[in-house]
Amino acid sequence: MNPSTLLVRPFPEVVDWLISEYVWEAADTIPACWPQHPHLVHEIAVLADQRRRAGHALTSDALEEWHRYSLPAFTERVKSRLRNHCEDGHQAWPANGRHTRHMAEACRRSRDESFALDVAAVRPIEDRGRRRPRLALVDLDTGEIKDL
């Protein structure tokens, strides 16, 4: 596969190319259920675009960076995010329960209340009945203080 056509070709061909050209260890492979993982779809698109752009560069510097940084970082993120969850077939999203609780109305209300308390704690001092120092300019010839 010609790397310059990575984004023109369908995603499955990009993934096939990555696996066949760059994966040696089984633990480094992209799982077959990758289309069911939105985070992988986004990461693969970025990786493919970076490789395409590196292939169009006038020097090999961008390709070197892609091989040295982009590809290994992608591989590590895939391993750390999926761990062994989809080794024997796709599994449901492990964080679904936490996400559901996070989106629940009671949790949203609690976050809003915490935010309001934080804002109240840092509002200007004069709003709480005390004056805070003010910024002003002093005319050095007359000694007159001019508010900003």
- Provide the 8-state DSSP code for 31: P
* Backbone φ and ψ of 147, nearest 5°: -65, 150
Tell whether 117 is covered by a domain. yes
Q: How many residues does the chain have?
A: 148
Determine how many CB atoms are found less than 10 A away from the CB of residue 74: 21
Is residue 28 domain-shared with residue 70, that is, in the same domain?
A: yes
**Residue-number span of the structural domain to which 122 is assigned:** 96-147
- Taking the whole predicted model, whether its pTM rises above 0.75 is answered as no
| Beta strands, E only, the chain | 136-138, 145-147
Q: Which residue has the tokens 């005319």?
A: 139
**Boundary of a domain, candidates 82, 104, 133:** 82
- Looking at the domain assignment, is residue 131 inside a domain? yes
> Is residue 91 a part of any domain in this protein?
no
Give residue-wise pLDDT tens across range 8-28: 445 788 899 999 999 888 888
What confidence tens digit (pLDDT) does each residue in 62-84 have? 999 999 999 999 999 988 888 77
Q: What pLDDT sits at residue 130?
A: 62
